[in-house]
């Protein structure tokens, strides 16, 4: 929709009275932002933080916990995100696939590609436009300008979100090829998990010893060739890190850090670790915050500036499996990195920080319900006119937040406890009950009848031969919106969440993604940050990031 001239003028005037800096960037149409030389300036550095699957309700869970959990573990009620909100700008962003092959809902690969390129893209591809052409990303453009570049994730470095910034592949599943692309581009600092795509099938113990890596990091390969990309990286000048201690000691301007064969510690493992549980993974793995601080140390030494993308990648995974406890701990882990970035950037005027999500996952939300209805209560207020306070429904108690935090295992770890190979065809209600009740707060325990529902399975009526996910004979039995539960191996999780939904005051609507507009936080020079304070689309965010970082005269 275009504004008529008079409305547009009015909107500009209103904007100008609210904000100290004002430019043509306040135009609210969907056309690209003005190029450099118009109103909006540039920055030396861009930091993009992506909470994968972090929709408005996921942020709401974090903010409710921080502000109102009676026994919050946080030192402050002010989150890192809140600091950016207080001192920067907030907007919203639509995120669906745009261009010649559009859709209503986006996946992480397409969404990250649209952020990385400012152009429409296609579902499940990385670094390609809407026709399948390779497109230069903001990271590659920054590199070409002589800036330093970095990618950080707590999932695999070759997973869709980081991949979209430096790889060009027709499908996100080509993670071996994505690792090659990351190395070819020469991203200066790469920190995350997923060593299995970087090493060949070999004597892993011998390779771990040679690399001075823990055996739980170098233990598996998904490669089909003999290439050892870790050694190739070393030969081309990268320092290597496989543990928190090695990361802390690393020097030099190029660094490859691989801290797990697949995903790094999940949020609950990380919290357990901080709360004193000891394990090898726990003591060896750096946190998202520690990886972020190290990357900033290295990249900020480049006098040309830098581009850095930091992903909290498991927020999405908790969402897909409908695990509210895991989700909270992922939000806490991500926000710890967000707060650290705020501390780093708050005294600078040469850096733009944008924090957003690629999409919302799971249709998550607190909701009021008809379970455990409230008792009548006397209130002193002079408007009660002698009536008791007795709402019709249960609107949720604040101590639920502490009970959600108290979950001590992710649903994935509950799956492991029930059946290590995740073949649940023979698993019993008693096994599910024992595993769930050992892992959730006492008030969320499931009964025999509820655990029957968690264990329930049915024939797959829509088996698709050869499909990566749907070629299975039977599935967990989900009675609502089953078409939106697309990963059968995950779907006893949604059955757990349904069994404890009313006790948690939480409802989930699917196991995929929704098209919810996602929050955008922007911090930096005012004329640049102001551009993000609107309802925009992710391709607009990509364009604004490019305009802010990339020299348009080139």
Q: Which residues bind Mg ion (CB under 5 A)?
A: 52, 108, 161, 313
- Please, what is the minimum distance in Å from the beta carbon of residue 502 to Zn ion? 26
First to last CA, the chain: 32
Residue 102: how many CB atoms within 10 A of its CB? 12
- Please, what is the minimum distance in Å from the beta carbon of residue 150 to Mg ion? 16
Cβ–Cβ < 8 Å for 540, 25: no
Q: Which tokens in the block code for residue 138?
A: 């903001």
- Nearest CB to Mg ion, comparing residues 98 and 106: 106
- Nearest CB to Zn ion, comparing residues 260 and 316: 316
Q: Candidates 200-208, 300-308, 312-320, 334-342 — which segment interacts with Zn ion by CB under 5 A?
A: 312-320
Helices (H), 275-323: 280-284, 288-299, 314-320
- Nearest CB to Zn ion, comparing residues 266 and 316: 316
- Nearest CB to Zn ion, comparing residues 219 and 513: 513
Q: Does 130 bind Zn ion (CB under 5 A)?
A: no
Q: Candidates 308-316, 448-456, 463-471, 497-505 — which segment interacts with Zn ion by CB under 5 A?
A: 308-316
- Please, what is the minimum distance in Å from the beta carbon of residue 227 to Zn ion? 29
Q: Does 311 bind Zn ion (CB under 5 A)?
A: no
Q: Does 547 bind Zn ion (CB under 5 A)?
A: no
For 440-455, letters b (16+ CB in 10 Å) and e give bbeebbbeeebbbbbb
Per rule CB under 5 A, count of chain residues that contact Zn ion: 1
Residue closest to Zn ion, measured at CB: 316
DSSP class of 24 = G
- Nearest CB to Zn ion, comparing residues 149 and 361: 361
Mapping DSSP to helix (H, G, I), strand (E, B) and coil, where does residue 89 land?
strand
Cβ–Cβ < 8 Å for 14, 525: no
Calpha distance 204→211 (Å, rounded): 10
Calpha distance 3→419 (Å, rounded): 58
- Nearest CB to Mg ion, comparing residues 64 and 154: 154
Mapping DSSP to helix (H, G, I), strand (E, B) and coil, where does residue 49 land?
strand
- Nearest CB to Mg ion, comparing residues 336 and 358: 358
- Please, what is the minimum distance in Å from the beta carbon of residue 178 to Mg ion? 13
Q: Does 360 bind Zn ion (CB under 5 A)?
A: no
- Please, what is the minimum distance in Å from the beta carbon of residue 361 to Zn ion? 5
Calpha distance 182→258 (Å, rounded): 13
Q: Does 490 bind Zn ion (CB under 5 A)?
A: no
- Burial of 179 from C-beta contacts in 10 A (0-12 / 13-18 / 19+): buried
- Please, what is the minimum distance in Å from the beta carbon of residue 160 to Zn ion? 8
- Please, what is the minimum distance in Å from the beta carbon of residue 467 to Mg ion? 21
Q: Candidates 184-192, 224-232, 314-322, 338-346 — which segment interacts with Zn ion by CB under 5 A?
A: 314-322
Question: Which of Mg ion, Zn ion, none binds 161 (CB below 5-8 Å, type-dependent)?
Answer: Mg ion
Q: Does 269 bind Zn ion (CB under 5 A)?
A: no
- Please, what is the minimum distance in Å from the beta carbon of residue 358 to Zn ion? 8
Q: Which tokens in the block code for residue 73?
A: 């573990």
Judged by CB under 5 A, which of 154, 266, 285, 316 binds Zn ion?
A: 316
Strand order in the sheet with 45-51: 239-241, 255-258, 189-193, 148-156, 306-312, 45-51, 351-357, 518-523, 89-94, 535-537
Cβ–Cβ < 8 Å for 274, 291: no
- Please, what is the minimum distance in Å from the beta carbon of residue 99 to Zn ion? 21
- Nearest CB to Mg ion, comparing residues 40 and 318: 318
Question: Which of Zn ion, Mg ion, none binds 313 (CB below 5-8 Å, type-dependent)?
Answer: Mg ion
- The 3-class secondary structure across 460-481, one letter per residue, is CCCCCCCCCCCCCCEEECCCCC
Residue ranges in contact with Zn ion by CB under 5 A: 316
């Amino acid at each position: 929709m275009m504004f008529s001239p008079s409305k547009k003028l009015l909107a500009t005037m209103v904007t100008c009275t609210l904000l100290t800096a004002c430019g043509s960037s306040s135009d609210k149409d969907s056309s690209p932002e003005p190029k450099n030389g118009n109103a909006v300036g540039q920055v030396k550095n861009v930091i993009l933080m992506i909470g994968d699957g972090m929709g408005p309700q996921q942020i709401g869970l974090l903010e409710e916990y921080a502000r109102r959990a009676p026994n919050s573990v946080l030192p402050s009620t002010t989150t890192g995100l809140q600091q950016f909100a207080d001192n920067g700008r907030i907007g919203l962003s639509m995120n669906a696939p745009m261009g010649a092959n559009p859709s209503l809902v986006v996946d992480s690969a397409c969404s990250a590609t649209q952020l990385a390129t400012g152009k429409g893209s296609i579902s499940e591809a990385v670094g390609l436009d809407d026709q399948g052409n390779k497109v230069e990303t903001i990271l590659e453009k920054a590199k070409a300008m002589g800036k330093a570049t970095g990618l950080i994730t707590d999932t695999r470095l070759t997973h869709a979100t980081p991949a979209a910034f430096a790889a060009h592949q027709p499908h996100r599943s080509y993670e071996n090829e994505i690792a090659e692309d990351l190395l070819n581009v020469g991203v200066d600092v790469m920190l995350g998990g997923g060593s299995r795509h970087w090493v060949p099938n070999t004597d892993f113990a011998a390779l771990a010893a040679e690399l001075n890596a823990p055996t739980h990091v170098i233990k598996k390969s998904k490669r089909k060739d003999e290439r050892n990309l870790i050694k190739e990286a070393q030969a081309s000048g990268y320092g290597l890190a496989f543990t928190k201690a090695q990361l802390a000691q690393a020097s030099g301007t190029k660094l490859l850090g691989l801290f797990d064969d697949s995903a790094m510690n999940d949020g609950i493992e990380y919290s357990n670790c901080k709360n004193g549980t000891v394990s090898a993974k726990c003591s060896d793995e750096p946190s998202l915050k520690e990886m972020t601080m190290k990357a900033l140390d290295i990249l900020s030494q480049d006098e040309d500036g830098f581009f850095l993308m930091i992903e909290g990648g498991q927020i999405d995974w908790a969402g897909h499996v409908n695990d509210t406890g895991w989700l909270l701990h992922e939000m806490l882990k991500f926000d710890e990195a967000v707060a650290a970035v705020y501390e780093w950037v708050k005294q600078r005027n040469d850096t733009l920080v944008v924090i957003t999500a690629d999409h919302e996952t799971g249709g998550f939300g607190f909701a009021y319900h008809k379970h455990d209805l409230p008792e009548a209560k006397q209130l002193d207020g002079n408007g009660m006119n002698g009536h008791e306070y007795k709402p019709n429904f249960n609107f949720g108690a604040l101590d639920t937040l502490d009970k959600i935090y108290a979950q001590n295992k992710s649903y994935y770890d509950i799956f492991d406890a029930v059946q290590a190979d995740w073949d649940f065809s023979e698993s019993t209600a008693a096994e599910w009950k024992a595993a769930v009740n050992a892992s959730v707060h006492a008030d969320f325990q499931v009964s025999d009848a509820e655990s029957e529902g968690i264990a329930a399975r049915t024939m797959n009526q829509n088996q698709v031969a050869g499909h990566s996910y749907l070629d299975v004979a039977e599935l967990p039995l989900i009675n609502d919106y089953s078409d939106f539960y697309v990963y059968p191996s995950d779907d006893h999780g949604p059955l757990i969440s349904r069994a404890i939904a009313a006790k948690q005051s939480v409802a989930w609507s699917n196991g995929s993604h929704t098209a919810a507009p996602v929050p955008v936080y922007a911090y930096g020079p005012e004329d640049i940050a102001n551009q993000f304070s609107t309802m925009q689309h992710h391709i607009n965010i990509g364009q604004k990031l490019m305009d802010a970082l990339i020299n348009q005269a080139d």
